[in-house]
């Protein structure tokens, strides 16, 4: 008697699974329904991106919100608004900022503006962008301890904000460190040490810039800000940052996140007030969680009354690290 070594069980199992898949497809296809969602319309709001630092003039960029399905339009039309009346008050004295548009600037000024905004000067020369600042008003140079009030009027839209330049918290020390687990002896991270003041409510932000590589200072997304509830009060604190690259830049394979021996790095350690900290922290949390279905929802806060965005007064301490 001949007995086959092949069983029909796998074939039957496959046939059953295939039939079940077809049945489920028919059921699911029958449940499909096109739903048209009508999003309610809303009035546009002004969006403010404004900063002032100790020893520097203020810089304000303005844009407007738009509907979710509205077309973005041609980039040559410009995203940032001109024609606004922007005033910054220092010690109660108001100063009207000058409107400056990139198409009207010489290459030397475009280079400086590009470094401040972190935008390629060539892009600025080819695409219109308007900002508000001042180059000749001494009363608008940022000073620690001063509260700076912002007032913007654009068409029928009006927004206000206020931010204080905190006292400078200096950097105690910095170092380039190569971890013991590194695959090579040429890549490492940067440590920064400072002493937190013996007061409650201090908030900080950190940025870095590789000379000759980065067009401006770069903030680590999703972790550039923290407060003294994390560090304690009146005690020295040392923290570590890996390198965060410029958006859309190409990285050499294996070097992502590391500084390399031979790099010269400027580190900017900044103090900010509580309202600015809340706005930046929630923005970074929302931006870094995009695409993550398990991330908790985050409501992005703003310190702009009547609009969106932020107006941040920075107290900056800058030092240099030579990666040797």
Domain boundaries, the chain: 46-164, 171-296+314-322
In 3-state terms the chain splits into helix, strand, coil percentages (rounded to 5) of 20, 35, 45
Listed ranges 64-78, 111-125, 264-278; the one with the highest mean pLDDT: 264-278
Where does residue 87 rank: exposed (0-12), middle (13-18), buried (19+ CB within 10 A)?
Answer: middle
Instruction: Specify the pLDDT at position 2.
Output: 34
pLDDT band at 116 (very low <50, low <70, confident <90, very high): low
Using one digit for the tens of pLDDT, what is the confidence trace for 220-247? 887 899 999 877 788 899 999 988 887 6
> Quick one: pLDDT band at residue 117, thresholds 50, 70, 90?
low
143, 123, 129: which is closest to 57 by C-alpha? 143
Q: What does the pLDDT read at residue 257? A: 83
Q: Check if CATH label 3.30.1360 holds for domain 46-164.
A: no
Quick check: do 46-164 and 171-296+314-322 share a fold?
A: yes
Are residues 60 and 307 in contact, defined by beta-carbon separation less than 8 angstroms? no
pLDDT digits (tens, 9 = 90+) for 236-292: 999 999 888 876 567 777 778 888 999 999 999 999 999 999 999 999 888 877 767
H or E element, residue 203: strand 203-210
Minimal CA–CA distance to 151: which of 62, 43, 282? 62
Does the pLDDT value for residue 76 go beyond 70? Answer: no
Residues present in the chain in total: 324
With vertex at residue 221, the alpha carbon angle to CA 218 and CA 125, rounded to the nearest 5 degrees, is 45
Tokens of 279: 């706005």
Strands 157-164 and 225-227: unpaired
**pTM for the structure as a whole:** 0.79
Other C-beta atoms closer than 10 Å to the C-beta of 22 total 10
CATH of range 171-296+314-322; options 3.20.20, 1.20.1070, 3.30.450, 2.60.40: 2.60.40
129, HSE (Cβ side, Cα atoms, 13 Å) = 19
Distance CA 137, CA 95 (A): 8
What's the pLDDT score for residue 109? 77
Provide the mean pLDDT of the chain: 83
pLDDT tens for each residue of 9-42 = 443 343 444 454 455 455 555 566 787 777 777 7
**Rounded Cα distance, 246 and 111, in Å:** 17
Q: By percentage, how much of the chain surpasses pLDDT 90?
A: 48
Q: Which two tokens stand for residue 86?
A: 């922007």
């Amino acid at each position: 008697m001949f007995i086959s070594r092949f069983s029909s069980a796998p074939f039957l199992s496959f046939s059953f699974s295939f039939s079940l898949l077809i049945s489920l497809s028919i059921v699911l296809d029958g449940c499909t329904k096109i739903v048209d969602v009508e999003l309610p319309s809303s009035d546009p709001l002004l969006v403010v991106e404004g900063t002032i630092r100790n020893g520097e003039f203020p810089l304000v960029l303005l844009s407007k919100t738009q509907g979710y399905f509205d077309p973005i339009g041609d980039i040559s039309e410009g995203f940032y608004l001109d024609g606004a009346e922007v005033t910054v008050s220092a010690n109660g004295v108001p100063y009207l900022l000058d409107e400056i548009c990139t198409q009207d600037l010489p290459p030397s000024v475009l280079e400086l503006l590009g470094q401040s905004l972190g935008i390629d000067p060539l892009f600025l020369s080819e695409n219109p962008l308007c900002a508000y600042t001042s180059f000749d008003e001494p009363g608008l140079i940022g000073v620690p301890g001063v509260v700076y009030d912002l007032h913007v009027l654009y068409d029928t839209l009006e927004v206000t904000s206020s931010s204080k330049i905190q006292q400078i918290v200096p950097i105690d020390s910095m170092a380039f460190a190569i971890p013991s687990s590194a695959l090579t002896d040429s890549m490492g991270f940067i440590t920064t040490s400072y002493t937190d003041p013996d007061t409650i409510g201090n908030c900080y932000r950190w940025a870095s810039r590789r000379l000759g590589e980065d067009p401006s200072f770069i903030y680590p997304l999703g972790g550039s800000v923290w407060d003294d509830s994390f560090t304690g009060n009146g005690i020295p604190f040392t923290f570590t940052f890996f390198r965060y690259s410029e958006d859309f830049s190409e990285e050499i394979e294996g070097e992502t996140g590391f500084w390399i021996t031979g790099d010269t790095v400027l580190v900017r350690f900044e103090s900010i007030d509580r309202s600015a900290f809340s706005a930046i922290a929630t923005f970074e949390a929302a931006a870094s969680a995009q695409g993550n279905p398990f991330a908790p929802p985050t409501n992005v806060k703003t310190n702009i009354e009547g609009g969106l965005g932020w107006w941040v007064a920075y107290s900056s301490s800058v030092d240099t690290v030579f990666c040797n």
